[in-house]
Amino acid sequence: MALKLNESCAVVTGGAKGIGLATTKRLLAEGCKVTIWDIDGKAIDDVIAGLNSKGKLFGDVVDVTDKEIVYSAAARAIEQMGKVDILVNNAGYVMGGDFLDQPDEIWEKTIDINLTSFIYTTRAFLPGMYERNRGHIINISSAAGGLGVPGLSVYAATKWAVWGLTESLRFEAINAGKKGVRYSSIHPSYIKTGLFEGARIPFPGSLLVPLVENHDVIAKAIVESAIKKGRYSPKRPVTVNLTARTRALLPDFLFQKVLMLLKIPQSMKTWHGRR
């Protein structure tokens, strides 16, 4: 059964910008209490000051790559809101570039933020969800979590891993008889602004997988499709679904030819990221 948002409490990581902020706004509009975690304290203050949250919005400066900081912040969120029913693992990092051109610290940071932090936060909040047999963990994966993309090798690796983590935990909950604890993995393609600014699939692939217009498109998928309707793996745009289906139907050499024809492997050549 889907959670009643006006009776729920959520933590959104990376909640002061982008998808996290858009999701926070939608959750607040549904009457949900929300604690946003972000590394940027000023951004948190600006969000809290700018939203009419009626006392339902809280913020905490959290480095999600630090296990002890995460566990301490989780305890504060539970104390402040009384419980945490919804966890949106949204914190993310991307640095485009070919694999051999990236220094070790880049791939280490990518793994720490995009994968390891998801494990820390889940370990912090899942016990309470199991105890109440009530909760929903939403992990932001990517369209690159089902398709390797040149210039995004380690990022793609983390997003494939997030999908695998989500699916494994989903079945663990079923095996444990905790059917009230749900999971969703969200798979957005390139968004016009934010971390992937500048990235775009050239024609003709752009006809099949257009850019996502704004962060609220993904926030809507999180709140309306994942939380309210219980969808496991929403993808935006919905044509991203064709990737897995095409891969399943075609021999590998044909699948590669289709990708090259659509120019999907060229999509990171114009990337410059958030400015």
Residue 199, CA distances (Å) to 94, 136, 273 in order: 12, 31, 8
Question: How far, in Å, CA of 190 to CA of 200, rounded?
Answer: 7
Residue 10, CA distances (Å) to 14, 155, 184, 227, 236 in order: 13, 26, 15, 11, 23
pLDDT in tens, 4-42: 999 999 999 999 999 999 999 999 999 999 999 999 999
Active-site residue identified among 71, 120, 130, 155: 155
Residue 249 scores a pLDDT above 70: yes
Residue 134 scores a pLDDT above 80: yes
Question: How far, in Å, CA of 131 to CA of 127, rounded?
Answer: 6
The residues near 102 (Cβ < 8 Å, ≥ 6 apart) are: 95, 154
pLDDT in tens, 42-86: 999 999 999 988 899 999 999 999 999 999 999 999 999 999 999
Domain extents in the chain? 5-266
Residue 147 scores a pLDDT above 90: no
Asked if residue 186 lies in contact with residue 226, where contact means CB atoms within 8 angstroms, the answer is: yes
The secondary structure element, H or E, covering residue 140 is strand 135-140
Question: How far, in Å, CA of 175 to CA of 156, rounded?
Answer: 29
Question: How far, in Å, CA of 188 to CA of 186, rounded?
Answer: 6
Query: What confidence category does residue 226 fall into, taking pLDDT thresholds of 50, 70 and 90?
Result: very high
Does the annotation mark 71 as catalytic? no
Q: Which CATH class is domain 5-266?
A: alpha beta
Residue 60's DSSP bridge partners are 37
Residue 275 scores a pLDDT above 70: no
pTM of the predicted protein model: 0.94
Question: How far, in Å, CA of 121 to CA of 67, rounded?
Answer: 8
Residue 166 scores a pLDDT above 90: yes
